[in-house]
Structure 1
């Protein structure tokens, strides 16, 4: 019988950490959570690699050898290769706002949930790039592009693009599998919440695809997709996972839900702005990608109501085989001229202000209020 490394359910529980923040640092506890998440991910991915290596048949990674490496090594490089760690940070501040303390078993649960969110996020990014046929992610070639290129380099059998897409799907599946594995030792309330989060993300992606196919331009649909795909699993759900781990009161969870709802909209709409006018050198994705794909965002809905003439014709063409090389640039300018960008910026500011208003007189800890206010401003005015 094949022997694979065994891992006790308690093996990757983190050792208790001291509760004092780093000397001279105002974000020591947040930084401590982010560091603990990276440590747990590194430990877990080492285990995944060891089990994988014991299972792989002779011949290894084939066309992937010498390139990104086999899937676990590739997953490690992507998960630990950087990023803003927004989801772990939101978990942390939900935990602190509800009275959670560093260096406790409850904080270990937060770290585990946050690590799972990071691998779930990678799953979503890799699959999203395949669905959208995006060629770049975080300033580098998307996973399906990397795999296809390696297939060509070694003169592999079959269609390289199809191979690249299939490998990327498997890479995303591995990330999702690891995310589910990370949460399996969490308390039941956190696990139930986790599965709801997963369903929410998939519902949002499906709605995004069918909305684009149906050329929907109604505001309700655009707002629902933004909330499901982006705002909820990046802002609202991580906040609640942290609060649940801390044993939050009903009043704390209600206030966090309202705070997360407003901030989630601001986050999603900032994503919309960056998807149309973002600097590729900063965002890591080509400028205007959302327009090129005809995504039903808030910007798309507002544009459909305001643009006329050649700009309206360009809107009808993008995302189809009739698209022209200059359509995206034309729409970027036309949308700005029509006041769409300014309206979205105004909406972002209004939602951020509403989120901050909830913090006034809230049932959160003083430290949590400061942390939530600071991260809200960071999220709403980010450039990537």
Structure 2
């Protein structure tokens, strides 16, 4: 089974009015949050200078809240709030708990936006979800207006500040929930940052080993995408400890499959489907398992390509050549086998959970869509 032969959609499994209600209410809560932020800024300005004219933004001014809102509305797959919803269903959907689920769903969208914006800065990515990244847009404006200072630093600074607000508001949305939910959120956040930090330091240090690569993939990708949203929803829904443990085990398997597929798409994905350039992981020498497998499988004649990857000197032709060499050496085949094995084990784990049929079908469908996605 491969990404090319299966065309599942992430919203395909049992999309009901209930899941739509969760997503619609999450959107509404986000819009309310943006209105409150804009109003708070206006009030603060009026309190500080009640008799002064409103200052102009200037040619390089940024509408902080507007930028955050506009980026938030450009939805991706909405996988995290969807998984939180199904975790809530499996957990029992306790009466009166849907409001907290909506809070979690909204917060997950903002946390994801925070992670994407900062990841794009660190990876120097030019596009995301089919459009220019925030730091690139800001840098272009700086150059066009002949701004003072370094245009790249300006772009990075704007993106960092917008993402900081996303993280802050996500955390505040979670604050009224139960202590167990806040503890799981806190763990997810520190895992995400730790995984990203390991990615940065191991890329710079040209270090690759299986244990670290798997930890990076799980912390910065699988956990905050699959496992923790599912766990958060289950906790809000009133799940018992055994159910939560079972969902975490299932989530880690699906999350690992998600991470491997993410790495495959990062090397061979179609930019028109993924919304970001292919081959960036090779240009930057990311410490992924794909490159570890490449080091194990590539013949001596292709080793200079790996050396150039380590040196950060791969040009477009070099990226193309390394992509082809990795396929010929069996790296992509090994990745597909790993995804298939993880998917099989995830389905077996779901058998053990014995959840109600509607949630069971939804989770199985999501697992397949995640593993074999093309974007």
TM-score, normalised to structure 2, is: 0.90
Rounded to whole Å, the distance in 2 between the matches of 1:63 and 1:247 is: 51
Deviations, residues 119-144 of structure 1 (Å, cap 9, x unaligned): 11111111111111111111111111
Note if contact 1:64-1:70 (Cα within 8 Å) is conserved in structure 2: no
- Residues 28-43 of structure 1: matches in 2 within 5 Å? 28-43=17-32
Deviations, residues 73-109 of structure 1 (Å, cap 9, x unaligned): 01101111121100000101111112215xx431111
Q: CA deviation at 1:233?
A: 0.4
Q: 1:96 to 1:155 in 2, by over 3 A?
A: same
Matching residue of 1:214: 205
Q: Does 1:185 align with 2:181?
A: no
Matched residue SS, 2:97: helix
Rounded to whole Å, the distance in 2 between the matches of 1:323 and 1:273 is: 18
Q: CA deviation at 1:64?
A: 3.8
- Residues 175-254 of structure 1: matches in 2 within 5 Å? 175-254=166-245
Rounded to whole Å, the distance in 2 between the matches of 1:64 and 1:176 is: 24
Higher relative helix content: 2
Matched residue SS, 2:366: helix
Matching residue of 1:370: 361
Contiguous gaps of at least 5 residues in structure 2: 1-13
Matching residue of 1:8: none
Note if contact 1:252-1:363 (Cα within 8 Å) is conserved in structure 2: no
Q: 1:96 to 1:60 in 2, by over 3 A?
A: farther
Q: CA deviation at 1:315?
A: 1.7
Aligned residues: 355
Note if contact 1:99-1:365 (Cα within 8 Å) is conserved in structure 2: no
Deviations, residues 255-276 of structure 1 (Å, cap 9, x unaligned): 1011101101011111001100
Matching residue of 2:83: 90
Rounded to whole Å, the distance in 2 between the matches of 1:333 and 1:348 is: 20
Matched residue SS, 2:353: coil
Matching residue of 1:151: 142
Matching residue of 1:348: 339
Q: Does 1:161 align with 2:157?
A: no
Matched residue SS, 2:208: coil
Rounded to whole Å, the distance in 2 between the matches of 1:367 and 1:189 is: 26
Rounded to whole Å, the distance in 2 between the matches of 1:280 and 1:43 is: 34
Rounded to whole Å, the distance in 2 between the matches of 1:269 and 1:259 is: 16
More displaced 10-residue stretch of structure 1: 173-182 or 316-325: 316-325
Matching residue of 2:113: 122
Rounded to whole Å, the distance in 1 between the matches of 2:364 and 2:56 is: 49
- Residues 243-322 of structure 1: matches in 2 within 5 Å? 243-318=234-309, 320=311, 322=313
Q: 1:264 to 1:270 in 2, by over 3 A?
A: same
Matching residue of 1:22: none
Rounded to whole Å, the distance in 1 between the matches of 2:55 and 2:232 is: 42
Matching residue of 1:19: none
Rounded to whole Å, the distance in 2 between the matches of 1:149 and 1:50 is: 29
Rounded to whole Å, the distance in 2 between the matches of 1:221 and 1:54 is: 48
Rounded to whole Å, the distance in 1 between the matches of 2:140 and 2:352 is: 56
Note if contact 2:206-2:310 (Cα within 8 Å) is conserved in structure 1: no
Aligned mate of 1:336, from 304, 309, 327: 327
Aligned mate of 2:69, from 76, 83, 87: 76
Rounded to whole Å, the distance in 1 between the matches of 2:312 and 2:18 is: 51
Deviations, residues 168-201 of structure 1 (Å, cap 9, x unaligned): 1111111111111111111111111111111110
Note if contact 1:97-1:367 (Cα within 8 Å) is conserved in structure 2: no
Note if contact 2:284-2:312 (Cα within 8 Å) is conserved in structure 1: no
Query: More relative contact order in 1 or in 2 (CA 8 Å, sep 6+)?
Result: 2
Matched residue SS, 1:322: coil
Matched residue SS, 2:147: coil
Matching residue of 1:44: 33
